[in-house]
Amino acid sequence: MNTMNNGTPATAANLGSSTPDLVRIFDTTLRDGEQSPGATLNADEKLEIAEQLARLGVDIIEAGFPASSPGDRSAVQQVAISVGRAKRTDKHDRPAEPPGIAAMARASRADIDDAWLGVRDAKYPRIHIVLATSDIHLEYKLRKTRAEVLEMARKSVTYARSLCGDIEFSPEDATRSDPEFMAQVLEAAVEAGATTLNIPDTVGYSLPEEYGGLIGFVRQRFAQADGVIVSAHCHNDLGLATANTLAGIANGGRQIEVTINGIGERAGNACLAETVMALRTRKSVFNLETNISTREICRTSKLVSSFTGMLVQPNKAIVGANAFAHEAGIHQDGVLKHRRTYEIMDAAEVGGGETRLVLGRHSGRNALRATLEKLGYQIAGEQLDHAFKRFKELADAQKGVSDAQLHRICAELSLSTGVPQEARLAAKSAQV
């Protein structure tokens, strides 16, 4: 078992533990995210995504569910060896430790053995045990009594702790569980050696106030337990995964379980980009930090979208094609005068390039002028009036106006001074 210089087991949980205002990012794209229908990844794709997640700066990568198949166990092993031992740089370009590598297991020896085989070669391995605590799961899925589940939690964590120094425990369907019974199960897990208590809103049932209250309840219950971190894991069935996750953080959660693009079972999980950028943009409210290199966000989003085949909707916060695009004339005019009028963050902050002015029927004269200037035309007064009239005619007749069409409009007005030759050629060939 790896140890730190002070003899404490070296775990993903105590990486950066000297920073009290740190929220750890546990990325489960390769496990919960891959459970999205049709999003199965092969071993090479998992490895490439894991490498990018390490560059992104996530603290723990949940690499898979090894008991689900030999192929998944092999993929987790590759991630543990290749990514879980590789040095990296942090968001300030300083040398940093590799991420923790986690694998999920049910509360059984066979699952735990498979999980350990998957992650044991990582520098910071973690076994993540999941055991349902809601009465509906106990009756219809597990077919166990509360007493039996309590004993399963104790035995499974004890066994896992004999193999691995870092154990996370999740009472599945926590938000529909009896809080007192769930707390008894968590106490058994902590006594057996679990140091991360993850509270899953497995079916996306909770409201932010409720979920925040539940995290606060668990946090208070284990306030005296040395080294225990409370984690938030939220699903998006009611569209509240990010809101619930932030409520969990506000009530003392110091790890969040998220996925790239919010993919996951059914309607998905809390989105890494949304939660991280909410903490960053509203730092005056939360006063918390993450280790995420935000300029890697869009690159990671595109990679995951490409490999899973799950397209990102244009209006997706942070990473959608329209996240930093403006068409309405009032907005475009405001952004041209001062970007902060209609943008609360920089596109470059998340690796998204720059603000885009999309010319369409709602666009105004100032946006047209600015776009034409970018294309090489200096235009004002009567010439701008004529160009704007022609532009509006086109915009009313179609969904948007292309650069080639703008070149054509300017060619019609004999505005060719200062325009590169390739632009003039484009104007000649463009069909309006």
Residue 378 lies in a domain: yes
Same domain assignment for residues 384 and 296:
no
Cα(410)–Cα(91) distance, integer angstroms: 45
pLDDT at 11: 61
pLDDT at 13: 54
Range of the domain at 156: 24-308
Alpha helices in 293-380 (DSSP H): 297-308, 329-337, 365-374
Same domain assignment for residues 154 and 198:
yes
Same domain assignment for residues 162 and 269:
yes
- Contacts with 110 (C-beta within 8 Å, 6 or more apart), sequence order: 67
Same domain assignment for residues 267 and 176:
yes
Residue 145 lies in a domain: yes
Residue 10 lies in a domain: no
Q: Which residue has the higher pLDDT, 226 or 135?
A: 135
Same domain assignment for residues 396 and 357:
yes
Same domain assignment for residues 265 and 405:
no
- Contacts with 251 (C-beta within 8 Å, 6 or more apart), sequence order: 212, 213, 215, 216, 219
Same domain assignment for residues 335 and 366:
yes
Residue 419 has pLDDT above 80, yes or no: no
Q: Which residue has the higher pLDDT, 171 or 421?
A: 171
pLDDT at 12: 60
- Contacts with 292 (C-beta within 8 Å, 6 or more apart), sequence order: 25, 56, 57, 58, 91, 272, 276
Residue 331 lies in a domain: yes
Average pLDDT over residues 249-271: 97
Same domain assignment for residues 300 and 346:
no
Determine the distance from the C-alpha atom of residue 239 to the mean position of all C-alpha atoms in its chain, rounded to a whole number: 15
Please tell me the least confidently modeled range out of 81-90, 188-197, 405-414: 405-414
Cα(122)–Cα(54) distance, integer angstroms: 13
Give 359-369 pLDDT, tens digit per residue: 888 888 898 99
Same domain assignment for residues 349 and 284:
no
Alpha helices in 164-201 (DSSP H): 179-192
Residue 318 lies in a domain: no
Its pTM stands at 0.87
Residue 429 has pLDDT above 80, yes or no: no
Same domain assignment for residues 76 and 37:
yes
Average pLDDT over residues 229-238: 98
Residue 380 lies in a domain: yes
Same domain assignment for residues 290 and 347:
no
Number of domains into which the chain is organized: 2
Same domain assignment for residues 304 and 330:
no
Residue 355 lies in a domain: yes
Please, how many CA atoms are within 13 Å of residue 149, restricted to the half-sphere of its CB? 27
| Domain CATH number, residue 131 | 3.20.20.70
Cα(274)–Cα(262) distance, integer angstroms: 9
Contact assessment for residue 228 and residue 261, using Cβ atoms and an 8 Å cutoff: no
